[in-house]
Structure 1
Amino acid sequence: MVEIGDKKKLKSVWPFYSLGDIFTFKGGGTPSKRIVEYWEGNIPWASIKDIKGETLESTIDHISQKGVENSSTSIADAGSLILATRISPGRPIITNIRTAINQDLKIAIPKVDADIQFLFYLLKSIEDKVIKISSGTTVFTAIKLSI
């Protein structure tokens, strides 16, 4: 029997993976707020204020195609997993809409063949751990998981 505190022995019995082994992360951005035409569009644009609950159904703000083209935002397709990296680091949500994201969010693109709901709960299960150790956005790829 392996003692829970004995990580060396536990690793030989139970594999450990980093989030970087399971996901590729794609960041977002914000179009210039000084250019009105970037904000007069119909493309949902998610920020931390939209990350509540398990699924994203709508966003408070919207941007235009020009806003997308002239910023570092990324587009998450419906069914994608989004992860907060600042303010509420580690908070996951599944988007049910196609949405652009700001720099406080990342699209978590699975490298593994797994159900998106399972991956959501996997991230949800470590949310408190992420908050405790967060000091920047690179923390996610280093977090070790045992699966």
Structure 2
Amino acid sequence: AGYTNDKTKVYSGNLPIVVFGDHTRIFKFVDFPFALGADGVKILVPKKEIDVNYYYYLRNLRILSAGYSRHYKFLKEKKIKFPPLPTQKAIVSILEKAEKAKEWRKKADDLTKDFLKSVFLEMFYGGKYNEVELKEICDTRSGGTPSRSRKEYWDNGTIPWLGSTVCKDRYVNESKQFITKNGLNNSSARIFKKGTILVALVGATIGKTAYLNFEATTNQNIAGIFPKENVDLNSEYLFYAMQNLYPKFISLSSSTFKMANLTFVRNLKIPLPPIPLQNKFTLIVKEVEKLKEKQKKSREEIDNLFNALMQKAFKGELIV
């Protein structure tokens, strides 16, 4: 998307319309003057007997992915039932209400996430406690990747191995990749214990964190951070403290490809309040996590309802 001053390229047809990305398979509802850019954009103008808002729900159709090839050829083959116009409008009203429920659910989820951050800042920041460098209270190490060309390092592996894509400021409960003991012993990979805080060091996920809920190894683009022995530091507290350091990582460079090293991480500072306060925050986290689990189930139920309504609508089975 962008802008142009060339008025000859402005779409002259009626609005609103639906546009389809021939490469991306993305549908967009357009109700404002626009200029048609790349030839990979298809304009879909519904017939008079079809409500454009009903037509826009085509975006929920499953279209086979052909990579960066053209996809309109697949869309053209789709067969969809269009009921009478009054019925279409009634169906749109039902689907819009279901979609609104999805939006409300997401806003509630976002509020829950923001709540913990607000509580953390209120309890521990604002000069209430001395800040200490991570190297004084934590051990920080990086992982490694066994050679992909050596099958014996990967085939039938049983040791969990994680990439930086898991760093989404969330708890990590499982791994999709595994290495062998041979791969572990012949690389810089190391096993991080449960409760280790992971932070991405490079690329799009730089500064994002994860809480490791099981023993695992990681690649070299992740730093594993865990409290030193005999230091009063709660791992859950450390997890949220690291999330608040995200701006430090983002400000590392103006380059689009950012990179941090272990020295940078070890020199970062966090407040170190008394352990009873850290534990109190952990109890709050556990209660919020219970709430988030309930929210997840509610979100799944709403998504299932919306998908069921969509299927019935385009099969002509939604009675209004």
Pairwise same-fold verdict (TM > 0.5): yes
Determine whether 1:140 maps to 2:259.
Answer: no
Shift of 1:146: 4.3
In 2, Cα distance between the equivalents of 1:80 and 1:50?
A: 13
Contact 1:18 1:143 in 2 (8 A): yes
Show the counterpart of 2:198. Answer: 82
Gaps of 5+ in 2: 1-126, 254-258, 273-320
Higher RCO, 1 vs 2 (CA within 8 Å, ≥6 residues apart): 1
Show the counterpart of 2:218. Answer: 101
| Alignment equivalent of 1:17, drawn from 103, 120, 132 | 132
Contact 1:85 1:104 in 2 (8 A): yes
Gaps of 5+ in 1: 1-10
In 1, Cα distance between the equivalents of 2:242 and 2:177?
A: 26
| Alignment equivalent of 1:124, drawn from 243, 268, 273 | 243
Most deviating of 81-90 and 97-106 = 81-90
In 2, Cα distance between the equivalents of 1:113 and 1:146?
A: 12
Identity %: 29
Determine whether 1:91 maps to 2:215.
Answer: no
Contact 2:226 2:235 in 1 (8 A): no
- SS of residue paired to 2:175: coil
Show the counterpart of 1:62. Answer: 178
Q: State TM-score, norm by structure 1.
A: 0.81
Query: Over alpha carbons, which structure has the higher Rg?
Result: 2
Amino acid across the alignment from 1:26: R
Determine whether 1:114 maps to 2:229.
Answer: no
Shift of 1:48: 0.6
In 1, Cα distance between the equivalents of 2:195 and 2:271?
A: 25
Choose between structure 1 and 2: higher helix proportion: 2
Choose between structure 1 and 2: higher strand proportion: 1
Shift of 1:19: 2.1
Most deviating of 66-75 and 20-29 = 20-29
Determine whether 1:39 maps to 2:168.
Answer: no
Shift of 1:141: 1.9
Shift of 1:123: 0.5
In 2, Cα distance between the equivalents of 1:28 and 1:72?
A: 6
Contact 2:198 2:222 in 1 (8 A): yes
Q: Summarize deviations over 1:4-28 as a string: whole Å, max 9, x none.
A: xxxxxxx9x9633222223221111
RMSD: 2.2
Aligned residues between the structures: 137
Show the counterpart of 2:296. Answer: none
1:48-59 correspondence runs (5 A): 48-59=164-175
Q: State TM-score, norm by structure 2.
A: 0.40
In 1, Cα distance between the equivalents of 2:129 and 2:152?
A: 53
